[in-house]
Amino acid sequence: MGESCIPTVDLSPCFREDDEDGMKKAKEIIGQACSEYGFFQVVNHGVPLGLMTRAIELSKTFFETLPNEEKLKCAPNSGAPLPAGYNRQPDQSPDKNEYLLMFPPGSNLNVYPQNPPHFREVLEQIFAYFTRLGALIESILSQCLGLPSNFLKEFNHDRSWDFMAALHYFPATETENNGITEHEDGNCITFVFQDEAGGLEVRRNGEWIPVIPTRGSLVVNVGDVIQVLSNNNFKSATHRVVRPKSKSRYSYAFFYNLHGDKWVEPLQQFTKDIGEAPKYRGFRYKEYQELRMRNKTHPPSTPEDVIRITHYALNTS
């Protein structure tokens, strides 16, 4: 299997206190990747390979073998900020996927599947691992930006809006659009792992780079919140999924998020303190998420009308 062209970071030094050189190298790679295009891969990240493999297997069983009436027992929860539970894109949608959207275990926003056996247990375990990994990456990003290591943690201390999606992309055909529309994530940090079908691509210097599935690795990308807070010092990654022909694709995405009531604007460390103009006007996070959801429920007539973080951009020229 070929090598991905996005950088790979060994996180093992981050779990020890006696490898300053390894930690420094990890920060350098992450800082450069986030400054340029917002994507990198991590290995030795603490999420057990066996658990990741099992999660993919159970996801395939859920989507491939369970009848619709069983899947719909995980019906969307109307009280969630996003449609939690089982969802399926309309057949006419170019995205053509089905997914299971989950909020933190124990949350009253959640709908976890009871079948197949042990699926719920695996999902809850992997959710917990991703939550811990999110805190670690958040600390590293703080340091890469020249902020105290606990800065972003204190800013983003509420974990109730984190969520995870198990995704099944249907095979593309010769006659349909087989690419998932390019986009950026609206959150803070996203973790992804995919099966051998691959399909994830990141845009770098105007070119689409395939992210080749690598056993045991996780793909990490920075989202819009980090781009705004850093006043464009870190980039929100532009990416897409190209559905393979004649083959389903399975993946998981974990969204390390921000509470909806949080106010988001460029930090003064990257504006007032250094004499730079803010590149975005401030906004409440849930307001932005509502606009992004409207992109899906009421698709704009032209791509130019899709709401992105540029909706809040200021003209600084």
**CATH code, 51:** 2.60.120.330
* Residue 123, domain member (yes or no): yes
Domain-embedded: residue 10 = no
Tell me whether residue 3 is in a domain.
no
Is residue 317 assigned to a domain? no
Of 141-150, 238-247, 294-303, the one with minimum mean pLDDT is 294-303
- Lowest mean pLDDT segment, chosen from 120-129, 280-289, 291-300: 291-300
> What pLDDT is recorded for position 317?
60
**Confidence band for 1, pLDDT divided at 50, 70 and 90:** very low
pLDDT of residue 2 exceeding 90, the answer is no
pLDDT for 284 equals 98
pLDDT at 180: 66
Query: Which of 293 and 233 is assigned the larger pLDDT?
Result: 233
Classify residue 5: in a domain, yes or no: no
Residue 41 lies in a domain: no
Residue range 58-79: average pLDDT?
86
**Res 242 pLDDT > 70:** yes
- Answer whether residue 39 is part of any domain: no
Number of domains within the chain: 1
Domain contains 117: yes
Nearest to 130 by CA among 252, 234, 29, 6: 252
Tell which wins on pLDDT, 231 or 76. 231
Domain that holds residue 259: 46-312
